[in-house]
Chain A
Amino acid sequence: MTGIVFNIQRFSLFDGPGVRTVVFLKGCPLRCVWCHNPEGLSSEMQVMYNSERCIGCGACVEACEKGCHTMKDGFHVLDRKNCISCGECAKVCFSLSLTSQGVQMTVNEVMDTVMRDLNVYRDSGGGLTLSGGEPLMQAEFSSALLKAAKDAGLHTCTETSGFGSSEALSEMAAYTDIFLFDYKLTGDEAHTEYCGAPGTPILHNLGLLDSLGKKVILRCPLIPDINTTKEHMEGIARVALSHPYSVSEIQIEPYHRLGISKAVQLGITPTYEAEVPDKDFVREFADGLRELCKGKVTVKINQ
């Protein structure tokens, strides 16, 4: 069995306890307008183009059968109209200006990399974190990978939007120590508007994890003009407090703009752009939330 992976990030300190390796799986059912990992959205292989790295060698022009690449006055021009994401151009682009996003990998292949930091996991209490994209989109592969990690004695985290099949989620829950579970917006209407799907199924899945008694860290992106409201703050507190068997911590994740340039490199026009929220505002938001949670849930800021 293989899964499509777009990145394996070693020495990751921010996605679960200790030092971790994060495996990013490609494909996401949601379309959050602020997405910071746009290369994880599509389930297909994609070509990313970073013009700053282009040396104008023209190798891609010859490699592409569809005529997507041309040279104009010594400069490379990419027209994605006929692109079938075959990745032939990336294979000849040695300057890494054109790169393939997404590789088919077996569980063993992924584990080969993951297991290289075994000593550090053991010494730091770290392990494997599955992220994406959305791991639930490749549920079978995700479960197999998590199981392999558990069999190897690793601590496991799954970072998920919560949007997906409940059966798949409970399967993954059997091999997941901590869920990093997104809670993005309060209210179905807003959720559909900004994330492309309703939030109710997500809450249903959170309820499932609560009933299973799984440890959950709620991750809440703070997006200017979209969810920086008092209502959403109350929504977060309500959701956290109503899942007492699972949620023990909330991590506020302030919006950052790093997804924008990646989207542009993928040929996607970003539909949302804003300034980074003010530090004091974020702190006040977290303080407000802390007050609402009455000390029952830890509130942290992931700056």
Chain B
Amino acid sequence: MYKNINDKLEFTDRFKRVEAGVRARLRPRDPREFTLIEPIPTNGKNPFADVFEQMPDAPYVIALAHAIVRSWLDMPCVIYPDEAVVGITRPTYPIMEHFSWGITFYDDKIDAEHGFESEEAIKTEKARIEALRERMTPLDMSHMHDAGIALLGEEKYKELTATEMYWAGGYQGHTLPNYVTLLTNGLDGMLEIIDKYAAINAKDKETADFYEANRILARGMIAHLEKYAAYAKELAETETDPTQKRYYEEISENCAFVAHNKPKTLYQAVQLAWILSLWDWVDCIGRVDRFFLPFYEYSKEHGDVISVEESITSFMFKIWEGGSHNSTLGGCDPETGKDSTNELSYLFLQVLRNIHDSHPRMVVRITEDTPRELTDLMVKIWSEGMCDPTVVSDKTVIPGLLGLGVTLEDARNYATLGCQEIEIPGKCNTGCEDGSFNLAKIFEIAMLGGKSTVNHDYQLGPVTKPFTECETFEEFFDGYVTQLKYFTEIHLYLCRKGQECRAANHAKLLKGLFTDGCLEKGIPHDAGGPIYGYGVIETAGLAATADSMMAIKKFIFDEKKLTKEQLVTMLKANFEGFERERQMLLNASPKFGNDNNEVDELAVRILDIYWTEIGKYETGRGGVYTGACSLLLGGITYGETMGALPDGCFAKEPLGNTMGPRPGFDKNGLTAMLNSVSKLPMEKGVGGTTLNVILTTKMLATPELRRSVSDTLRSFLANGGCMAQITTANKEDLIDAKCHPERHGDLTVRVGGYSIQFVQMDGVSQDEIISRYV
């Protein structure tokens, strides 16, 4: 079922109406990459401030749990017409929010728009918040900055942060809660689990408070569902349309049931899962085609209030509107290791295909036995212009996780989250991510012999031979490694301080209730509770560094085409007046992404050194760091901090996103690019290493072409590749590529009998292609 790519799943009339409603509500919020939305005005209300004010003597974690619950229960219920699964996201509170680092303040957002009508009201509110601030945030980010200053001295720390070399202290903190625990126990069952472990572990006040906070949260979720049940019942009583009346009654009954009981049917399971997803900031969800499967099978056999297709569609619509980051399909069974693709995997893809939007995002795990039908359906979805699903390789990921000390069964159960990071659902806190680091900035510092890139007179790193004094390439490379190791140590120290902030603030408190280890040990989510606490560092600037290393090796040390002084002068001038030399650096030196062994080996060497180095440091949660390379926008933001580089790029150019080459530098076709990337030491970067691949819809136009593309990617994933994220391009993209070739270097088009990099063609030929494109 659902396998045939020619049979599109049709939404029922009821769900076509729900779909139209979702689209209408989403339209004003495009483009969107937000987890939180504002469906209703907040009227200046802030449950966090209110609760902390009303409970001046309560322990922090207890007050926080009450505040979280209040933030949900204070909000009116909203049930859209024809819906089956209910519950809408919370508004973003204007002043403070419980998010990545715990309670975060947004002082500048107290304004009339949020219900504070007069200057006086704003002033009063600010004073109220100020009075509460200390109590509400036990440790703010100044903890990390203070540690940096203590370590390096004020002046040096200031110089360091001015280079914008890294980001430390954590980002969104995505983790995957254990949906299986919730679905197999129900919320009453969760309360029993809390009591069970509290009886064993709650020997001191702090631990007892932790368990009590979890009880408050679980009861809050129950109350939230009960509130919806009551509201739906109320609506049913006054509804005159008999069909809608029945829908309300069904909703009421469904919510009332799963408020306490463990679900039996799929409709019950998706409602309960959605409430957890809501409370989890509509974060990533994990292996949906596995944990819903028993309920799907039950409902298929015994029948259900709505059909199984409608249940999955309801759930998908909710995560679509809520902006869920990621869920995972396919992949192997944790116990047997065999491919576990099932009917639900196809059904989810078919619903995704019908939604045809930038969200919800989905990932398909590829094993050696992934059915052809699944990859065919996936490629068909790309050919229709969607960028989802992303593919990820079991063959590459699982051994990498084993290397981090993850058990075989858990490694086989991995899922993706965030910007395609990887972790074990319900058992991890990988910090996702603890920090990010720009390797190309270290290159600039190494060129200066350890001096700051901002203030060239300031010795920021250890003294190494500046580029102009190096006699050999290896001498320069050694200096790079020295700088890299020095700044890695500082960076990871700061990351750890960021972890301390999160732990002290009980950041994302709810995660602990649904993460194995936290209740069992009585230790919160950010303090080392989860079974796995390894950390993830996102890595930027690899291609730019390898290409720049290659260029100086070739033109300065090997061929002596340029002197060191000449190169330094050119870089300082951002190549102004040196266009010919820039073209040489750009076009006459091998670039990463073309299957050229010499430059690829440099990339491997650099990344191996860096990822080995971070693997020597421990996180505050227990476990070491592992690398990741899935920054989507990071390549652009880090690029903006860069000066001109010896690879021929001007200052501020994008560094290239994810694992791939710098934009436009791969000129030997997709397979060559994939080969270059597969050489990288993926086993040391288990945090998620995705690669952007751009294909035109025309290259996916026939079943034969789609099969070839899917074979190419399967081959990549079976031979060292980790992830590929597809972008399909259309006519508008081609027009933009003609005007802005620097943004579209990787766009491949079909020309007559073969495919070619679009930006390599002359303008006349580009127009030809554009004119032929549909």
Residues on B with beta carbons closer than 8 Å to the beta carbon of A265: 762
Q: In the docked arrangement, what's the CA distance between A261 and B764, Å?
A: 7
Cross-interface CB contact of A120 among B671, B698, B764, cutoff 8 Å: B671
Among A7-15, A204-212, A240-248, A288-296, the one that faces the other chain is A7-15
Query: What sequence of 0s and 1s flags, for each residue 697-711 of chain B, a beta carbon within 8 Å of any chain A beta carbon?
Result: 011010011011101
Cβ of A256 and Cβ of B768 under 8 Å apart?
yes
Cβ of A123 and Cβ of B718 under 8 Å apart?
yes
Residues on A with beta carbons closer than 8 Å to the beta carbon of B712: 11, 19, 120, 123-124
A203: interface (CB < 8 Å): no
Cross-interface CB contact of A253 among B698, B714, B753, B771, cutoff 8 Å: B753
Q: In the docked arrangement, what's the CA distance between A12 and B752, Å?
A: 11
Q: Which residue of A lies closest to B769 (CB)?
A: A258
Residues on B with beta carbons closer than 8 Å to the beta carbon of A116: 595, 671-672, 675
A234: interface (CB < 8 Å): no
Q: In the docked arrangement, what's the CA distance between A303 and B752, Å?
A: 7
Q: In the docked arrangement, what's the CA distance between A124 and B706, Å?
A: 11
Cβ of B752 and Cβ of A11 under 8 Å apart?
no
B584: interface (CB < 8 Å): yes
Q: Which residue of A lies closest to B705 (CB)?
A: A13
Residues on A with beta carbons closer than 8 Å to the beta carbon of B669: 9-12
How many of chain B's residues have a CB under 8 angstroms from any CB in A?
A: 45
Query: What sequence of 0s and 1s flags, for each residue 571-586 of chain B, a beta carbon within 8 Å of any chain A beta carbon?
Result: 0000000011101101
> B70 to nearest A CB, angstroms?
56
Q: Which residue of B lies closest to A261 (CB)?
A: B764
Query: What sequence of 0s and 1s flags, for each residue 95-128 of chain A, a beta carbon within 8 Å of any chain B beta carbon?
Result: 1100000000000000000001101101111100
A302: interface (CB < 8 Å): yes
Residues on B with beta carbons closer than 8 Å to the beta carbon of A12: 669, 753-755
Interface majority SS on B: helix, strand, loop or mixed? helix
Query: What sequence of 0s and 1s flags, for each residue 667-688 of chain B, a beta carbon within 8 Å of any chain A beta carbon?
Result: 0111110010000000000000
> B677 to nearest A CB, angstroms?
13
If A18-B708, A19-B671, A124-B711 touch, whether A258 touches B768 (CB-CB below 8 Å) is yes
- From residue 222 to 276 of chain A, which have CB atoms closer than 8 A to chain B? 253, 256-258, 260-261, 265, 276
B772: interface (CB < 8 Å): yes
If A15-B754, A256-B752 touch, whether A119 touches B718 (CB-CB below 8 Å) is yes
Among A50-58, A72-80, A139-147, A192-200, the one that faces the other chain is A50-58
B244: interface (CB < 8 Å): no
Q: In the docked arrangement, what's the CA distance between A55 and B587, Å?
A: 13
Q: In the docked arrangement, what's the CA distance between A256 and B675, Å?
A: 32
Cβ of A256 and Cβ of B587 under 8 Å apart?
no
Residues on B with beta carbons closer than 8 Å to the beta carbon of A214: none
Residues on A with beta carbons closer than 8 Å to the beta carbon of B714: 123
Cβ of B671 and Cβ of A258 under 8 Å apart?
no
Cβ of A94 and Cβ of B583 under 8 Å apart?
yes
B219: interface (CB < 8 Å): no
Q: Which residue of B lies closest to A257 (CB)?
A: B768
Residues on A with beta carbons closer than 8 Å to the beta carbon of B719: 119
If A258-B768, A261-B764 touch, whether A13 touches B715 (CB-CB below 8 Å) is no
Residues on B with beta carbons closer than 8 Å to the beta carbon of A11: 669-672, 712, 748, 755
Cβ of B587 and Cβ of A253 under 8 Å apart?
no
A59: interface (CB < 8 Å): yes
Q: In the docked arrangement, what's the CA distance between A19 and B710, Å?
A: 10
- From residue 45 to 74 of chain A, which have CB atoms closer than 8 A to chain B? 50, 52, 55, 57, 59
Cβ of B772 and Cβ of A256 under 8 Å apart?
yes
Residues on A with beta carbons closer than 8 Å to the beta carbon of B126: none
A191: interface (CB < 8 Å): no
Cross-interface CB contact of A10 among B671, B708, B752, B753, cutoff 8 Å: B671
If A11-B672, A119-B715, A123-B715 touch, whether A261 touches B765 (CB-CB below 8 Å) is yes
Residues on A with beta carbons closer than 8 Å to the beta carbon of B709: 13
Which residues of A come within 8 Å of B, CB atoms? 9-15, 17-19, 22, 36, 50, 52, 55, 57, 59, 94-96, 116-117, 119-120, 122-126, 131, 253, 256-258, 260-261, 265, 276, 302-303
Given A9-B756, A119-B718, 9 new contacts (CB under 8 A): A10-B669, A10-B672, A52-B763, A55-B583, A57-B583, A94-B581, A256-B752, A257-B768, A258-B765
27 contacts between A and B (CB under 8 A): A9-B755, A9-B756, A10-B668, A10-B669, A11-B672, A11-B748, A11-B755, A12-B754, A13-B705, A14-B750, A18-B711, A19-B671, A22-B754, A52-B763, A95-B579, A95-B580, A119-B719, A123-B712, A124-B707, A124-B712, A125-B711, A253-B753, A256-B772, A260-B764, A261-B764, A265-B762, A303-B698
